[in-house]
Homo-oligomer: A and B are copies of this chain.
Amino acid sequence: MMALQGKLLKIYVGESERYRDKPLYQYLIRWLKEKGISGATASRGIEGYGKDNILHTARLLELSSDLPIVLEVVDRNEKIEAILPEICRIVPKGLVFSTDVQIHKQGKD
């Protein structure tokens, strides 16, 4: 089977982080859509910590409004590479990494 070389870009931010009067993860999804990136998905974690070493959790007695949000973005190498510098600028505190993937199917074709 033919496969297209691409990259999976993962971005981890806090649910409460904001950018230009919007939750940061919502801003990012709209920004990626405007840039013509072919797809993005945000998921909410139930517990986690990052560079700040503070544990965020969804459990009852430790209610958090800052759960981890994971964004997954997939596209061809050159499209991911083109947006990376700007992504790193918009996401000052989060984790951003990428990995090589083989795209077997991308939407309706």
Contact = CB atoms under 8 A, between A and B. Distances in A.
A8 B95 CA distance: 12
B99 A104 contact: no
Contacts of A97: 6, 8, 74, 101-104
Interface in A56-102: 68-70, 72, 74, 84-85, 87-88, 91-102
A41 B55 contact: no
Given A94-B107, A95-B105, 4 more contacts: A12-B39, A42-B48, A95-B103, A99-B99
Interface of A: 1, 3, 6, 8, 10, 12, 25-26, 29-30, 33, 38-53, 55, 68-70, 72, 74, 84-85, 87-88, 91-108
